[in-house]
Amino acid sequence: MTAILTITLNPTVDLSTSAEGIVPERKLRCTRPLTDPGGGGLNVSRAITALGGNSTAFVALGGPTGDKVMRLLAEAGIGVYPFPAPGETRMSLTATDTATGEQYRFVMPGPDWGERDVSKALTRIARAAPEGGIVVLSGSQPPGVPVDFPARLAAKIARTKARLFLDTSGKALHNLLKAKSPPADLLRMDELEAEGLAARPLPTRADSADFAQDLVRRGLAHAVIVARGSEGNVLATREGRWFAKAAKVQVVSKVGAGDSFVAAFTLALARDKPLPEALRHGAAGASAAVTSPATDLCSARDVKRLLSQCPVSEI
């Protein structure tokens, strides 16, 4: 299997709990919290492990909370390439109101980075990139990391023999439009991010495919994925456009759906599946994730069960 390295600059200890009736100015009696290592790249590594694969997590860690993340990753059997963060690793909280089913997510910013930290991280990542392998950058950037970090990473990885998958958003995603960096092998975004980048609505899957293929032709990536929520996922390259339908499932929690998609998609490619088949695995991974509570991700059993409900068609 092709080696996989995930990158998490802004990890967190995810606490998830629940209470009946979340209202202001009251003491809320919560259930005992569940604790998981979190952050986009770490979630991808956790889901890859759950699906029977292996990856190494490049993760910036600092302070006692960072030590806790290390312990949690070791307990999960995930290999770690630690990088010293410039401050204490953050914590985040997900609280579910059991009376309504609504979820409240409190996400902290993480420590402040300087340019020296950024440069060191880029050098270390390039050194850790597996030859002939896949490097996945996913999740938020901590304060101080510039918006051109994904573009700079693409330039670094282009000098290695690894493939780069980017799952980014916000200003960092918009920066890729004007950056003169080498194309990533894969760029993924959700429907709202795609519409923001396109500066227009994308009401149909054909619209998403047109936009994704335009980004490929403009040199942002060799393949672009647009996630269209409960409808499914669009993938475009220069040569083709495909749509993978999302399975019809009861949604328990949307937390981790995107990371589960990336994990299942990446693992399928690492196992030499063709792009359309990897897209189907990704759709099944996301569909499986939304059936699990709080910060739980997809499971191998659920992905296998839902694969048949995620057919792929050409657009």
259 is catalytic: yes
Contacts of 239 (CB under 8 A, 6+ apart): none
Using DSSP's 3-state secondary structure scheme, residue 90 falls into: strand
Q: Where are the beta strands (DSSP E) in 176-231?
A: 186-190, 224-227
Nearest-CA neighbor of 108 among 9, 11, 253, 23? Answer: 11
Using DSSP's 3-state secondary structure scheme, residue 98 falls into: coil
Q: Where are the beta strands (DSSP E) in the chain?
A: 4-8, 12-19, 34-38, 56-61, 79-84, 90-97, 103-107, 134-138, 163-167, 186-190, 224-227, 232-236, 241-245, 312-314
Task: Look at the block and give the residue holding tokens 């059997």.
Answer: 77
Quote helix, strand, coil % in the chain, to nearest 5. 35, 25, 40
Neighbours of 7 (CB within 10 A): 29
Catalytic residue among 14, 259, 296, 302: 259
Q: How far apart are CA 81 and CA 313, in angstroms?
A: 39
Using DSSP's 3-state secondary structure scheme, residue 253 falls into: coil
Contacts of 157 (CB under 8 A, 6+ apart): 125, 126, 129, 135, 163, 164
How are strands ordered across the β-sheet holding 12-19?
34-38, 12-19, 90-97, 103-107
- Residues with catalytic function: 259
